[in-house]
Amino acid sequence: MRSHLSDLFILEQVYTSNKKPYHIIKGIVKKFDTDYKPSTGMIYPALKRLINMKMITKKDDGYAITPMGREYFDKNKENYGKMVDNFTENKIFFKNMKKSIGNLIEALRNSEKSYINDNQWKIIDYVDDITAKIRDKKI
C-alpha cells in the first residue's frame, strides 16, 4: 500500500487523541514553519479513505485512530519523517521561487518600454534556457 502524506498527517494528529477536522488542520499547520495550510478538499477525502481502510473511525468527539492505523503509522514513521522533510524543503523552495518570479515580473513591468522592446527575445530565450536546463537536469 502506498503511503499518502495526507493520510500520515492525519494519523499523526489523531495518534494520541481524537480530533475533529478543524483541530486536525490546526495541528498540521502548527507542525510546519512555512505558511502551509491543508485545505478541507485534501482533509475530507483523506478522512474518508482512512475510514474505508479501517485506519480511523468517526466518533462523537472526532476521529480516532484504530489499532490498524496505529500499526500503519508506526511502520511508516521513518518514511513519514523523510516525506515531511522533503515536503517542507519543497514548500520553502517554491515560496522563494514564487517571490523571485514575482520580482522578475515587477522589474519587467517597471522597465522602460524601449528596454522591453529591444530585449524581449533575449529575456524569453534566457527563461527558456533555464527551463531546458532544469528539464535536462543540467543545473
Question: What pLDDT, on the 0 to 100 scale, is given for residue 2?
Answer: 59
Top-tier CATH class for 5-86: mainly alpha
1, pLDDT greater than 60: no
Question: What pLDDT, on the 0 to 100 scale, is given for residue 60?
Answer: 96
Q: Where in the chain is the domain with CATH 1.10.10.10?
A: 5-86
Residue 37: band (very low, low, confident or very high) from pLDDT cuts 50, 70, 90: confident
Side-chain-side CA neighbours of 13 within 13 Å: the count stands at 26
Taking each helix axis from N to C end, the angle separating 67-75 and 5-14, rounded to the nearest 10 degrees, works out to 120
The fraction of the chain above a pLDDT of 90, given in percent, is 68
Q: In degrees, to the nearest 5, what angle opens at C-alpha 45 toward C-alphas 81 and 48?
A: 95
Question: What pLDDT, on the 0 to 100 scale, is given for residue 3?
Answer: 62
Enumerate residues 6+ apart whose C-beta is below 8 A from 109. Answer: none
Question: What pLDDT, on the 0 to 100 scale, is given for residue 89?
Answer: 82
For 66, the grid coordinates are 484504530
Question: What pLDDT, on the 0 to 100 scale, is given for residue 79?
Answer: 84
Helical H runs in 1-139? 5-14, 21-31, 40-52, 67-75, 77-110, 113-135
Q: Average per-residue pLDDT in the chain?
A: 90
For 73-120, the pLDDT digits (tens) are: 999 888 888 888 888 888 788 888 999 999 999 999 999 999 999 999
